[in-house]
Chain A
């Protein structure tokens, strides 16, 4: 699901822009279908070791932004470990989309106030 009415989707789109992962003039509708390899952190020429490290590094940053800047909390069956692992699993795959990442985040986090 990638909808403008979802606070989580808007939060993720704006966070990716703020973290220089996508161009700041990208429309909300265009962000959802973007693949991980189209984001800044994913280097298609690099080995999987480097891309996995970059994905983990960005996932921890996004977790910090969601929980501190936006006041999100974890769903009942999730904690920091599971939430970061869920995001990293999506972000390590070149052809996963931002919408896929958003779905993982919606499953793991409860939106803040």
Chain B
């Protein structure tokens, strides 16, 4: 326990060092100032040191580690409008309990989820994505299809042979052998199209990063998704957002033909929330009260392969969120706080490189603005030897 506390203090100390990057006190010595700046300008030092500390904690596997293991932190810089860059971090914690019942080619799944998500800037004025969300969700999900044909023992043996031939071809960088192995394997793995409908009941607590604005939000969500797994099926031609990327993959030589991705069909989420504002000075100033209100929301998400460059897959990810208050008063409409929309997208590769763009405003964001990002990401708590 003492060891856990000691490493926790080291981690906090390093995070404090990072925060010093935003504004260093004038009265500290040059040596300390230089050391702090070195740490702050190299977030990988902080991440690596913290990861090593976590590895030591992991060896003892105390109950606290189970919590830390499911907590993701990512140090990042924020930049909005004409403000200087500010250092901060995003955090995410997810945990769930699930029960799935399979019946023929459909599955009914029920789950309970606990989810914390947000962005925190060490100087809050620099945070353009000033929105923290803590949520409890019950989910009931129906999935139809996506079932595979039952193989005989001989067919299974052929399938294993094709798998080994595929990885032999990839080791040898032999494209012709790879294509032959994929064709051979495809004979024994044929899937039906898959349809997904989920109904969620959720309770969430939303706030800005200093909790000066808070609200309590119960609601329901309808989640839908499609995977056109059938190779000869027409459904994949309805994957409209993938058309420009299919063209890019074809022109860049990533794909040999113009082929739409079966896996990248967009997902959508529709929600109805009953919002009980806790502290929201702007809303109170506009309406004079903090009455509960009903809000509809929509989220659409899409991710596809854009290209493969030097053996690195470049993924394109995008997400659009829209919130709209029902029966909003004219005062709220005039103050532009009756609806919010937010779009974000990025190009990223598995080596950590990313380019991102976001535009719009989430509930509690101070301004509607374009934010660009460019850099490498480092993941805390995942020290790989």
- Chain A residues engaging chain B, CB cutoff 8 angstroms: 4, 7, 10-11, 13-15, 17-28, 33-35, 38, 40-50, 52-54, 56-57, 60-61, 63-65, 68-71, 80-81, 84-85, 88-89, 92-95, 112-113
Contact = CB atoms under 8 A, between A and B. Distances in A.
B185 A14 contact: yes
Interface residues of B, number: 86
Nearest to A63: B102
20 contacts: A11-B160, A14-B185, A17-B182, A25-B170, A25-B175, A25-B178, A28-B167, A40-B261, A43-B302, A44-B317, A46-B303, A47-B269, A53-B196, A56-B111, A57-B227, A60-B146, A64-B147, A80-B101, A84-B109, A89-B98
Interface of B: 70, 72, 92, 94, 96, 98-102, 107, 109, 111, 113, 115, 117, 135, 137, 139, 141, 143, 146-151, 153, 156-157, 159-160, 162-164, 166-167, 170-171, 173, 175, 178, 182, 185-186, 188-189, 191, 194, 196, 198, 200, 221, 223, 225, 227, 229, 261-264, 267, 269, 299, 301-305, 308, 311, 313, 315, 317-319, 321, 344-346, 348, 350, 379, 381-382, 384
Contacts of B350: 34-35, 38
A46 B141 contact: no
Contacts of A84: 98, 100, 102, 107, 109
Nearest to A85: B98
Contacts, number: 217
Nearest to A17: B166
A106 B287 CA distance: 58
B108 to A, nearest CB: 10
Contact of B178 (A24, A43, A80): A24
Given A53-B223, A68-B149, A10 B167 contact: yes
Q: Which 9 A-B pairs have the closest CB atoms?
A: A46-B301, A20-B263, A45-B319, A14-B163, A38-B350, A68-B148, A85-B98, A80-B102, A28-B167
Contacts of B186: 18
Chain B, interface SS category: strand
Contact of B107 (A27, A35, A60): A60
B334 to A, nearest CB: 30
